[in-house]
Amino acid sequence: MAVTTSELITKARAARIAVRGLQTLSSGRKNAALEAIAVALESDQAPVLEANALDMAAGVAAGLNDSLLDRLMLNLERLNDMAADVRNVASLPDPVGETFDVRTLANGLRVERRRVPLGVIGAIYESRPNVTVDIAVVCFKSGNAVVLRGGKEAVHSNGALATLVRAALASVGEDPEAVQQIADTDRSVVEDMIKGNDYFDLIIPRGGAALVHYVAKEATVPAITGGIGVVHVFADATADVANAADIIFNSKVQRPSVCNALDTLLVHASVAPALLPVVASKLVAASVELRCDQRALSLMGPVDGDLVKAAETGDFGQEFLALVLSIRVVDSVEEALAHIEEFGSGHTETVLTSDEMVATRFLNEVDAAVVMVNASTRFNDGGQLGLGTEVAVSTNKLHARGPMGLHELTSYKWIVRGDGQVRG
């Protein structure tokens, strides 16, 4: 067996023991535990903020860019938002024990499928300490134990949040061993986790392309190895200029450091002369750097030339995670679809159009986890799509796609009841 890290072995074993009790825990007890976590996030904020201040200071000293510092930062508003997300998860139906495909066969056997937890989840993530709580609560509600291994940038914040969650579970009589946090940030822990088949039922990496590609290549444990967001908006010839400009601005600027933020804007040549000057004015005012093909450059209007540049080849197909946007003018829906096919990552794609035929074609032909019409790409989020929160956004097609919530952390088993049948 590959796993050798002593802290990891100890905590993974504890999680494996804890999951036995979790699998039969009532929905009422799960929800009471989640409420205790939410209350703690609202009332015990000082230790978490103090820990986060240590991480932020270290991040500044290490020269982390603004995008990474934004991902790392916690404040009162973000902690209260986390508490609200926990309550949203508590309000959702519990998938564990749900039965479906119930039927009686010709031989009298009564057959059904019943949802069950996956078991022990290993979560590997970078920079964003809120993920500690997001993953912990979704795993707990879906009957799974979790071993959390965050990045070194957020080591103090992750530790404080995991301590808070475990204490909240214990305060209502639940087993805190269901949530484990690995303090060791050495890369060897990741190597051991992704080969720990005796301990883990699923690995979920949340981070940059390097982490995701590494897990995809090296993991022997089943893993969700999608999630990289190269996100497009296509403004069709019939797009409403004012509405389109607002959606594009929100998709890029509302939180540029996350995977569902806009990376590339495609604009139909028919609407480009009207739309691009409006979009450029709004985005440049928000300090967005625009990397434009030659046709787009000629239509930018009177904007700050320091932020408007000629695009290079590598600017298309790039996940920026920053206030940078590439722009291309296209002559047809077909050209936009071809661009997305070539450069997209299968994460989030949006069309802005007043033509229902174009909308239908885009929805049918674009191969992505979430495809939208006339809506901000920022809605590709578990909380926004009714999942309460999420453990990841998967661009895989097996076993889950898009935001992963409670149902995506379950499997099923066949239940067969007979009264003496034998196979002839």
The predicted-structure confidence for 347-400, as pLDDT tens digits, reads as follows 999 999 999 999 999 999 999 999 999 999 999 998 899 888 888 889 888 888
d(CA 366, CA 385) in angstroms, rounded, equals 19
Question: Mean pLDDT, to the nearest integer, of 401-411?
Answer: 94
Give the C-alpha distances (Å, rounded to integers) separating 361 from 252, 345, 378, 379. Answer: 24, 19, 22, 21
Strand order in the sheet with 202-206: 179-181, 145-149, 120-125, 202-206
d(CA 39, CA 140) in angstroms, rounded, equals 16
| Cβ 197 vs Cβ 315: under 8 Å | no
| Cβ 331 vs Cβ 296: under 8 Å | no
The reported pLDDT for the residue numbered 4 is 53
Mean pLDDT of the chain: 94
What is the band of 205 on the pLDDT scale with cuts at 50, 70, 90? very high
What the chain holds in terms of domains, given with CATH numbers, is: 6-226 (3.40.605.10), 232-379 (3.40.309.10)
| φ/ψ bin of 58: left (φ > 0), alpha (ψ from -120 to 50), beta (otherwise) | alpha
More confidently predicted of 159 and 212: 159
Q: Does the pLDDT of residue 133 top 60, yes or no?
A: yes
What is the band of 127 on the pLDDT scale with cuts at 50, 70, 90? confident
| Close Cβ partners of 372 (under 8 Å, ≥ 6 residues apart) | 348, 349, 350, 351, 379, 380
What values do phi and psi take at 20, rounded to 5? -60, -45
Q: Which residues pair with 112 in a beta bridge?
A: 415
Nearest to 85 by CA among 123, 141, 21: 141
d(CA 141, CA 117) in angstroms, rounded, equals 10
Q: Does the pLDDT of residue 303 top 80, yes or no?
A: no
The reported pLDDT for the residue numbered 5 is 63
d(CA 153, CA 3) in angstroms, rounded, equals 24
Question: Mean pLDDT, to the nearest integer, of 88-109?
Answer: 96
| Cβ 256 vs Cβ 323: under 8 Å | yes
The predicted-structure confidence for 140-150, as pLDDT tens digits, reads as follows 999 999 999 99
Q: Does the pLDDT of residue 110 top 90, yes or no?
A: yes
Q: Which amino acid would we find at residue 253? A: V
The reported pLDDT for the residue numbered 118 is 97
Long-range contacts (CB closer than 8 Å, 24 or more residues apart) made by 269-274: 269/237, 269/295, 269/329, 269/330, 269/331, 270/237, 271/235, 271/236, 271/237, 271/238, 271/239, 271/241, 271/244, 272/296, 272/299, 272/329, 273/299, 274/241
Q: Does the pLDDT of residue 2 top 50, yes or no?
A: no
- Taking the chain, what is the end-to-end CA distance rounded to the nearest angstrom? 43
Question: Mean pLDDT, to the nearest integer, of 198-207?
Answer: 94
d(CA 160, CA 126) in angstroms, rounded, equals 16
Helices 130-141 + 76-91 axis angle, to 10: 10
The predicted-structure confidence for 189-200, as pLDDT tens digits, reads as follows 999 999 999 999
The H-assigned helical ranges of 44-154 are: 45-61, 66-72, 76-91, 130-141
The predicted-structure confidence for 317-336, as pLDDT tens digits, reads as follows 999 999 999 999 999 999 99
Question: Mean pLDDT, to the nearest integer, of 269-283?
Answer: 97
The one-character DSSP state at 296 is: H
| Close Cβ partners of 92 (under 8 Å, ≥ 6 residues apart) | 141, 387, 388, 405, 406
d(CA 82, CA 200) in angstroms, rounded, equals 26
Based on the number of CB atoms within 10 Å of its own CB, is 366 exposed (0-12), middle (13-18) or buried (19 or more)?
A: buried
Nearest to 144 by CA among 122, 128, 124, 161: 122
Q: Which residue has the tokens 């072995």?
A: 9
Question: Mean pLDDT, to the nearest integer, of 239-256?
Answer: 97
Q: Does the pLDDT of residue 59 top 90, yes or no?
A: yes
What is the band of 1 on the pLDDT scale with cuts at 50, 70, 90? very low
d(CA 208, CA 216) in angstroms, rounded, equals 13
Question: Mean pLDDT, to the nearest integer, of 269-281?
Answer: 97
Q: What is the token pair recorded at 47?
A: 């230790």
d(CA 25, CA 145) in angstroms, rounded, equals 12
| Cβ 135 vs Cβ 145: under 8 Å | no
